């Protein structure tokens, strides 16, 4: 916007189906581009997600009032342990940073477990 960047917030994103979340994000971005954002998108965030496909790894910064930041880097082929040797696999680096005073480390652990549980073996 002419006044600077606007952070869009999706409330209770963890409770939405992926398609519904994708739709909400698309609508919010469209509204921001038009210069009129529904006030529902302007709530203070609990978590921040930074996806930077041009970066190998992303360490997202927690910015108040958020209590959690998740960073997602580019998918890249890497040498990894496979069985008793080495192999090349496509890998995505995901980082999570939490503010212990805000929610505790259990929230961070649940986020990483949920992400890890959805990745193929």
d(CA 28, CA 26): 5
pTM of the full structure:
0.53
Residues linked to residue 80 through DSSP beta bridges, in sequence order: 87
DSSP β-ladder status, 85-98 and 47-51: unpaired
Q: What is the pLDDT of residues 6-21, one digit of tens each?
A: 677 777 777 888 888 8
Q: What is the pLDDT of residues 90-119, one digit of tens each?
A: 888 888 777 765 555 676 677 777 777 766
d(CA 24, CA 40): 11
Q: What is the pLDDT of residues 50-74, one digit of tens each?
A: 767 788 888 877 777 777 788 888 8
Q: How many helices (H) and strands (E) does the chain have?
A: 2, 3
């Amino acid at each position: 916007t002419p006044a600077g960047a606007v952070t869009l917030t999706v409330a209770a994103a963890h409770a939405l189906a992926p398609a519904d979340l994708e739709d909400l994000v698309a609508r919010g971005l469209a509204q921001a581009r038009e210069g009129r954002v529904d006030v529902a998108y302007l709530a203070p965030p609990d978590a921040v997600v930074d996806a930077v496909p041009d970066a190998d790894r992303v360490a997202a910064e927690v910015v108040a009032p958020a209590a959690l930041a998740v960073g997602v880097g580019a998918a890249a082929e890497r040498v990894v342990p496979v069985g008793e040797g080495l192999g090349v696999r496509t890998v995505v680096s995901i980082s999570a940073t939490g503010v212990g005073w805000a929610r505790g480390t259990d929230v961070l652990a649940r986020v990483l477990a949920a992400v890890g549980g959805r990745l193929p073996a």
